[in-house]
Amino acid sequence: MTPRDAYAALSDHGRRISALEGAATILSWDQETMMPPRGGAQRAESRGALAAVLQDLRTDPRIADWIAEAGRADDWPADIAADLRDADRAYTRAARLPAGLAEALARETASAHQVWAEARAARDFPRFVPALTRVLALRREEAAAVAAPGQTPYDALLEEFEPGARVEDLIPVFARLRAGLTETLDRIRGAAVRPPKLTGAFPESAQMALARDLAGDCGYDWSAGRLDRAVHPFSSGSGGDVRITTRVDPSDPTECIFATLHETGHALYEQGIAPALLGRPSGRWASMGVHESQSRFWENHIGRSEAFAPWLLHRMSIAFGEIGVKKAGQLHAAVNRVERGFIRTAADEAQYDLHILMRFDLERALLSGDLPPEDLEVAWADRFEADFGRRPRHAAEGCLQDVHWSEGMIGYFPTYTLGNLNAAALAAAMRRDLPDLDAALSAGDLSAPLDWMRDRVHRHGRVMNAPELMAQACGGPVDETPLLAHLHAKFGAIYDF
């Protein structure tokens, strides 16, 4: 077998895995959007069975032989070299998993998700504790199995979402960010300015219609996607099938608007990966920190920007009539109003990362065993009170608000803050390249930022690793400086400090 024959065999095998991963994604999407309530147990079995098939394919010993043979050629282009690099990483990780663990994780997290949804609706954290305990035990087992030399258990799980990242590198960046956020928040809380609130009638049908319009304005391809409602908004899929969800609060349209823009950002990334890369290791997202940069960019640097406010006011006035503000500047201030809310997904930019840093600390304590699952509700409330000055009134606005831990997604939360860091750096670079950006945004023309992201980020998939991709897009390494500068400038203008 020649190196090219080996690469061809590896590619055929990888496309089969990718196709079945797509089927698993649809099962998960259906569970959150359309599955009947009594379908949970059967869905857990289906997802477990499919996970077992995928694990067999991912650990096929021929993969190692194909990679070794293909690697004998030294003239591969960058995309194929990336395929081989990432296929080797994925195979090594999968081969370390004990037999049956992937199936057990898929089955247990599908079941835990159902329990979480019921516990959240009932505001009953103790109902969720046994499921959370089982998920944590399985994830600890996974972390111990897949950890590379020198990796901590948490790093081993973080690797799944942010390849190459290490807690020891994140902690100092997050500490500097926290200090800067606290300084900005102190100025906001000491300001005399109080932005207006939106008022009016916001019917569900009108919110969903507006959500659809805004996603289309951003460039979302409706022939390759759809919009539905979910308890916890998310985006899923790739290529020609990229689905988004949102949620509706009849008293406040901003949650639907910005959740939709957030998930549209994720979807635009998936729809923008070069077609030639789809189904290949290099055709996946570079990291979840890059993925979250896209959602946070469209949600905050476009949707909550001063330049976009005239167009958003126009769209909202058509959808709802009177909304309590008449001018674009008033709307801009209203949608960036800083309040001590309990819900992460509804948090303003100034406080959002404090929500994430709290979860980052708590989930590391859960994984290590320093925080028993049954103590999470109180630990969450104590930390929230320390950071925000308020205690959650019940678990649904506390430790049950997020879906992540029911899905076993330990290590995902820090990627939101990495996404904010990346988004601010990308926005700064974009503004240097597009001096007429604000005029286009005011008119509702979002083609320029989409084209810029397509060229700098989307089309490349995972051909470059995340730090390389961000460095070439932004002109250098990313740190907390652009985000803190953005927040200080935005909120300084709104709150007059």
Nearest-angstrom CA–CA distance, 300 and 467: 22
Token pair belonging to 103? 């199936």
Sheet (strand 241-246) strand order? 227-229, 241-246, 235-238
Pick from 472, 418, 436, 479: nearest CA to 162? 418
Nearest-angstrom CA–CA distance, 260 and 142: 33
Pick from 429, 449, 127, 128: nearest CA to 298? 449
Token pair belonging to 50? 């499919």
Our separate counts of H helices and E strands in the chain read 20, 3
Pick from 211, 267, 262, 214: nearest CA to 25? 267
292 has binding-site annotation: yes
Q: Please indicate whether residue 339 is annotated as part of the active site.
A: no
Token pair belonging to 266? 């994720």
266 has binding-site annotation: yes
Contact 165, 158 (CB under 8 A): yes
Token pair belonging to 277? 């890369």
Token pair belonging to 128? 């969720």
Pick from 387, 390, 388, 364: nearest CA to 376? 364
Q: Which of 159, 263, 306, 407 is catalytic?
A: 263
Binding-site residue positions for Zn(2+): 262, 266, 292
Binding-site residue positions: 262, 266, 292
Just list the catalytic residues: 263
